[in-house]
């Protein structure tokens, strides 16, 4: 195997490198890693990717992840050879990413104040396990198999565990999921059980579950599939590839995500950095991250709301002390993340540094919205005939806020990512039963 792919520490002052075959998730000095490619894929592949949509029963062309395999070719396979593909690549029979692409949603566009033709939302909830996680889980589990792992491990607010359990079941490997007890939507928890994972309930929140699961992975030699795993990030780049393909690779002005552990923000940034470096795109869209008001660490630090310091990547010299100080401040004052959108109930985003790098590269912004605003956003997406969960409702809510503030301009083009489908049916039912809610349609008797 020619060594054109490797792993590299994201800290430019450190820069330690490791082979792809190394299952570690951080460098020896404790920094996150990137998957790096020495070759520059040719933009002529745009045509190949488009043609693969007519997949002729090749599941690796049907898959919205593996259709773009040359841009995440860490297995270094002969990409036109389907037998070689099936020896390496993990897929739910081509289902991951297959149904996800940007759609116009006129009612949401009217609500946020954008032209219908300039606004798209991309539902990632139509993935086989019901969230964007399948994009990155197919690649993480591909790597796990490449390095002969028998057990995968994750912490989760619900969607990661559903996706990990699904792929583990299909690949016949073991899966342990660490979840914050009582804080996971019932539909997500039921998936973990249904797919045969070992559920481990942790007293505490997601951040506690993640630190426990990372310790356990070290102890028992399990393979972590949370978004701190650089191979997860590779698969999640395809969310952006599908969005850009729909726009003939002419980037929009904005790409908008809800912010939790910031894996999405990181993967969006990495995909744009690579496409720009490889000459596939000339314009760099701005990323907007939308935090919940009840779990708003990135918003607080990025916008200088803690000790008046605006936290930035700063060309690879971020002020990591301010992050530590803020985490200590939260711990000492008993400040816990609290939002009804449990998917993003996270106070210590594990990918914060990669997220900052993405925000710096794209001149990004960070905002926050309330639970009520997220529910309204979720309900309005539903009125366009699309399903999404409350955390995804942060996207329309955040776009509206940024439009109202004049940060997103009237004629800007915007793609928002709807990260997951509804897995807690009580949320829309309760929303619509309450006539005080903006978009409620209460039942008649």
Chain residues binding ligand F0G by CB under 6 A are: 131, 156-160, 227, 258-264, 343-344, 389, 391-392, 419-420
In 78-169, the DSSP E strands lie at 103-104, 119-123, 151-155
Of the pair 61, 122, the CB lying nearest ligand F0G is at 122
**CA angle in degrees (0–180, nearest 5) for 31-279-272:** 40
Q: Strand, coil or helix: what is 259?
A: coil
Question: Please, which residue, 94 or 259, has the CB nearer to ligand F0G?
Answer: 259
Question: Of 61 and 227, which CB lies nearer to ligand F0G in the complex structure?
Answer: 227
Q: How far apart are the first and last CA of the chain?
A: 68
Is residue 368 helix, strand or coil? strand
| Euclidean distance between CA atoms 184 and 430, whole angstroms | 18
**CA gap 425, 413 in Å, rounded:** 32
Q: Which residues pair with 288 in a beta bridge?
A: 256, 365
* The pairing of beta strand 198-202 with beta strand 119-123: unpaired
| 75 vs 343, beta carbon nearer ligand F0G | 343
Select 92 or 287, whichever has its Cβ closest to ligand F0G.
287
Nearest approach, Cβ of residue 131 and ligand F0G (Å): 5
Q: Which residues contact 112 (CB under 8 A, 6 or more apart)?
A: 119, 396, 399, 400, 403, 414
For ligand F0G, the closer of residues 139 and 160 by Cβ is: 160
Select 49 or 132, whichever has its Cβ closest to ligand F0G: 132
Residue 262 or 415 having the CB closest to ligand F0G? 262
Least distance in angstroms from the C-beta of 121 to ligand F0G: 13
d(C-alpha 130, C-alpha 138), whole Å: 14
Distance in angstroms (rounded) separating the CA atoms of residues 114 and 226? 35
Calpha distance 224→144 (Å, rounded): 9
The answer to whether the CB of 395 falls within 8 A of the CB of 417 is: yes
Shortest Cβ 132–ligand F0G spacing (Å): 7
Q: What angle do CA 355, 360, 366 make, to 5 degrees?
A: 65
| Residue (of 87, 69, 84, 74) closest to 20 by Cα position | 74
Tell me the residue number closest to ligand F0G, measured at CB: 260
Rounded least distance, CB 350 to ligand F0G, Å:
8
Distance CA(371)–CA(236), nearest Å, equals: 26
- Smallest distance from ligand F0G to CB 381, Å: 13
CA distance 114 to 409: 8
Nearer to ligand F0G, 258 or 285 (CB): 258
**Complex with ligand F0G: residue 258 or 318, whichever CB lies closer:** 258
82: Cβ contacts below 8 Å, ≥ 6 apart: 58, 60
Distance of closest approach, residue 53 Cβ to ligand F0G, in angstroms: 26
Q: Which is nearer to ligand F0G, 65 or 261 (CB)?
A: 261
Q: Shortest gap between Cβ of 235 and ligand F0G (angstroms)?
A: 12
Compute the least distance from the CB of residue 263 to ligand F0G, in Å.
Answer: 3
Q: State in angstroms the smallest separation of the CB of 213 from ligand F0G.
A: 11
Least separation in angstroms between CB 390 and ligand F0G:
8
Q: What is the dihedral of CA 200, 203, 204, 207, to 10 degrees?
A: -30
Distance CA 51, CA 441 (A): 43
CA–CA–CA angle 209, 181, 349 (5° rounding): 35
Shortest separation between residue 161's beta carbon and ligand F0G, angstroms: 6
């Amino acid at each position: 195997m020619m060594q054109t792919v490797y792993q590299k520490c994201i800290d430019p002052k450190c820069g330690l490198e490791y082979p792809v075959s190394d299952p570690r998730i951080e460098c020896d000095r404790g920094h996150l890693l990137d998957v790096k490619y020495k070759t520059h894929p040719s933009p002529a592949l745009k045509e190949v990717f488009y043609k693969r949509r007519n997949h002729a029963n090749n599941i690796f062309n049907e898959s919205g992840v593996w259709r773009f395999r040359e841009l995440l070719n860490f297995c270094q396979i002969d990409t036109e050879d389907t037998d070689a593909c099936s020896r390496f690549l993990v897929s739910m029979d081509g289902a991951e990413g297959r149904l996800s692409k940007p759609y116009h949603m006129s009612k949401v566009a009217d609500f946020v104040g954008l032209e219908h033709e300039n606004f798209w939302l991309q539902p990632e909830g139509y993935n086989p396990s019901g969230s964007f996680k399948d994009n990155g889980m197919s690649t993480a589990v591909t790597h796990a198999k490449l390095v002969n792992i028998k057990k995968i491990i994750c912490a989760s607010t619900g969607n990661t565990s559903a996706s990990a359990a699904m792929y583990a079941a299909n690949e016949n490997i073991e899966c342990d999921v660490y979840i914050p007890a009582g804080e996971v939507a019932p539909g997500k928890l039921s998936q973990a059980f249904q797919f045969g994972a070992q559920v481990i309930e942790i007293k505490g929140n997601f951040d506690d579950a993640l630190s426990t699961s990372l310790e356990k992975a070290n102890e028992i030699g399990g393979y972590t599939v949370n978004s701190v795993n650089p191979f997860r990030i590779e698969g999640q780049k395809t969310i952006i590839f599908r969005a850009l393909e729909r726009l003939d690779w002419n980037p929009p002005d904005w790409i908008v995500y809800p912010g939790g552990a910031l894996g999405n923000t990181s993967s969006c940034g990495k995909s744009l950095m690579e496409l720009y470096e490889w000459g596939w795109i000339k314009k760099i869209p701005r990323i907007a991250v939308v935090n919940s008001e009840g779990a708003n660490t990135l918003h607080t630090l990025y916008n200088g709301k803690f000790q008046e310091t605006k936290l930035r990547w700063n060309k690879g010299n971020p002020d990591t002390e301010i992050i530590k100080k803020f985490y200590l401040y939260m711990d000492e004052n008993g400040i816990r993340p609290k939002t009804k959108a449990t998917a993003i109930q996270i106070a210590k985003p594990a990918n914060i540094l990669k997220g900052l790098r993405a925000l710096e590269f794209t001149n990004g912004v960070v905002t926050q919205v309330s639970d009520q605003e997220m529910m309204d956003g979720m309900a309005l997406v539903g009125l366009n005939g699309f399903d999404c969960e409350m955390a995804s409702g942060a996207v329309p809510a955040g776009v509206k806020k940024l439009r109202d503030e004049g940060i997103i301009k009237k004629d800007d083009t915007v793609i928002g990512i709807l990260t997951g489908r509804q897995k807690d049916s009580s949320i829309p039912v309760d929303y619509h039963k309450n006539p005080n809610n903006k978009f409620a349609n209460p039942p008649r008797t």
